[in-house]
């Protein structure tokens, strides 16, 4: 059996469609207090193939927290306090690029932030954190490459690269807004990538996203007249099975011979 990576403590942040990680063995929940308030929920700690991991449901276990109300600083600080050495952030997105269809997996390499009013830095409240950080490349190349290696081993068709647009939410976008995002160069649109990514960078935690395309964005393809929410569940359920297998493989389980 080949091993892709054995991080000291890898964290998975789950979004829509991934509120729990049943593959964790010996799982137990631990509440972590932070100077920034309460995280979305207690951390779930356990192992996969003997390797320790942490799981955090960013919307809460009952998916009750809207994207613009998530306490991103508390979430990232809590993971930092547990000694997390890498984060894979799973999130559902809408497709803007013609080559991306519902059910596809995407590992973006760039991001555009359209959010506002979110507490987006530890600077000024966390001693020793610089005011300015380099964010030229917002995602960890190391973790991205490991995810791409896992997808290749499993034979999954995954899209490498792309621009993730982070909007405010919780409403979905208008067709005109999606045309604007497309003009700006965005390939997918979500609501939770920021300030999550930049906060991880401030605390020097390698961070990468694994996006699941849940639907075509407003005004595109099957969503030209509107987004059919009833179709999202089956798409996410099927795609998240691949995500869970990728997580197992990432720490050395179920690797094809």
Q: 212 with 17: CB under 8 angstroms?
A: yes
Asked if residue 5 is part of any domain, the answer here is: no
pLDDT of residue 6: 46
CATH number (domain holding residue 143) = 3.40.50.1580
CB-neighbour burial class of residue 157 (10 A; exposed 0-12, middle 13-18, buried 19+) = exposed
Label residues 49-84 b or e (16+ Cβ within 10 Å = b).
bebbbbbbbbbeeebebebbebbbbbbbbbbbebeb
Count of domains observed in the chain: 1
Asked if residue 3 is part of any domain, the answer here is: no
Verify cis geometry, omega within 30 degrees of 0, for the bond prior to 195: yes
pLDDT of residue 125: 57
Asked if residue 15 is part of any domain, the answer here is: yes
pLDDT of residue 257: 46
pLDDT of residue 1: 35
Using 70 as the pLDDT threshold, list the residues of the chain that sit under it. Answer: 1-7, 17, 19, 125-130, 252, 254-257
Asked if residue 204 is part of any domain, the answer here is: yes
Q: Residue 109 is part of which domain span?
A: 10-250
Q: What digits encode the pLDDT tens for the residues 24-34?
A: 889 899 999 99
Q: Which of 112, 25, 21 is nearest to 58 (CA)?
A: 21
Asked if residue 2 is part of any domain, the answer here is: no
pLDDT of residue 236: 85
Helices (H) and strands (E) in the chain, counts: 5, 11
Asked if residue 256 is part of any domain, the answer here is: no
Q: 111 with 196: CB under 8 angstroms?
A: no
pLDDT of residue 91: 93
Asked if residue 255 is part of any domain, the answer here is: no
């Amino acid at each position: 059996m080949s091993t892709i990576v054995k991080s000291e403590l890898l964290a998975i942040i789950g979004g829509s469609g991934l509120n729990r990680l049943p593959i964790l063995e010996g799982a137990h929940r631990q509440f972590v207090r932070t100077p920034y308030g309460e995280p979305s929920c207690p951390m779930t700690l356990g192992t996969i193939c003997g390797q320790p991991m942490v799981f955090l449901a960013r919307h809460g276990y009952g998916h009750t927290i809207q994207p613009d109300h998530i306490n991103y600083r508390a979430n990232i600080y809590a993971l930092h306090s547990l000694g997390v050495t890498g984060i894979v952030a799973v999130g559902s997105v809408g497709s803007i690029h013609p080559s991306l269809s519902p059910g596809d997996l995407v590992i973006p390499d760039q991001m555009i932030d359209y959010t506002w009013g979110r507490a987006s830095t530890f600077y000024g409240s966390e001693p020793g954190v610089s005011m300015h950080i380099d964010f030229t490349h917002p995602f960890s190349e190391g973790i991205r490459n490991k995810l791409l290696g896992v997808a290749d081993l499993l034979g999954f068709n995954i899209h490498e690269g792309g621009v993730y647009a982070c909007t405010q939410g919780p409403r979905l976008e208008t067709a005109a807004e999606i045309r604007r995002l497309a003009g700006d160069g965005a390939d997918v649109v979500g609501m939770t990538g920021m300030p999550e990514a930049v906060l991880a960078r401030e605390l020097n935690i390698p961070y990468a996203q694994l996006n699941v395309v849940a639907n075509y964005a407003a005004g595109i393809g099957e969503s030209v007249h509107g987004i059919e929410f009833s179709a999202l569940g089956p798409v996410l359920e099927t795609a998240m099975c691949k995500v869970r297998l990728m997580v197992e493989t990432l720490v050395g389980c179920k690797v094809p011979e």
